[in-house]
Amino acid sequence: MCAETVRPFDQKEPATLKPVTPFCSPRYDEELRLWLYGNENLLNGPLSPVLSAFQIPPFTEHQLDQIEEEAHVLVLSGRILVTGINHPGFQRSAIVPLRWGAPRVLCLSGGFYRHLGPDLNQEPYPAARRWRYEFDPTSDLVVSRREPNKRPTYALHNPTIDKLILDLCLLAQAR
């Protein structure tokens, strides 16, 4: 996913793959004070949180269905979802863009290598892997306050992630 096709002018051999820098390396943004990996252009788009996901777990199946429905409405109206992955409500909302081939911004509690694997190509939780086998940095963006190798926090209720989601959406509105 993280490559561009390069064909030598003097050869008719199959194309080779060469890394594309913007999507292949996590980077720290001094202005945002965040680590970024993926399609940073999403930060200039119409970002929206799934407000019904901002609850303290556990969730009932009815609540998860409401979260999913709100996410569908947002995605189908052209919004880019900003969500976390630390609890079932956020996870349920993060799957919706995958179903429609829409982009998303995921806020992570730990470093990218801890969530996306050593090659930064794994979807960050099992249910998402049913919809897309590998994380696609050309489509999605992951953000974190923690360095790429740092361990995540494993709290289901993480106010820091909640605040990060809302801050990113407010930042997009201000631009």
Q: Is residue 18 part of a domain?
A: no
Mean residue pLDDT of the chain comes to 88
- pLDDT at position 18 over 80: no
Domain that holds residue 49: 31-174
Q: Within a domain: residue 123?
A: yes
Please say if the pLDDT value at position 2 is more than 60: no
At 99, list the tokens.
């179903």
**13 within a domain of the structure (yes/no):** no
What digits encode the pLDDT tens for the residues 58-94? 999 999 999 999 999 999 999 999 999 999 999 999 9
Say yes or no to pLDDT of 5 above 50: no
Distance CA 53, CA 125 (A): 17
Model confidence at 155, pLDDT cuts 50, 70, 90, reads confident
Q: How confident is the model at residue 20 (pLDDT cuts 50, 70, 90)?
A: very low
Residues 23-67 have pLDDT tens digits of: 569 999 999 999 999 999 999 999 999 999 999 999 999 999 999
- Does residue 121 belong to any structural domain of this protein? yes
The answer to whether residue 14 is domain-embedded is no
Q: What is the rounded distance in angstroms from the CA atom of residue 142 to the CA atom of residue 114? A: 12
Strands (E), 21-84: 27-29, 34-38, 47-49, 80-84
Position 120 in a domain: yes
pTM of the model: 0.85
Question: Does 26 fall in a domain?
Answer: no
CA 105 to the chain's CA centroid: 4
- Total domains present in the chain: 1
Average pLDDT over residues 115-135: 88
Confidence label for 7 from pLDDT (cuts 50, 70 and 90) = very low
1 domain residue, yes or no: no
pLDDT for 128: 83
Q: What's residue 132's pLDDT?
A: 84
Which CATH number goes with the domain that contains 40? 3.40.50.450
Secondary structure element (H or E) that encloses residue 82, with its range: strand 80-84
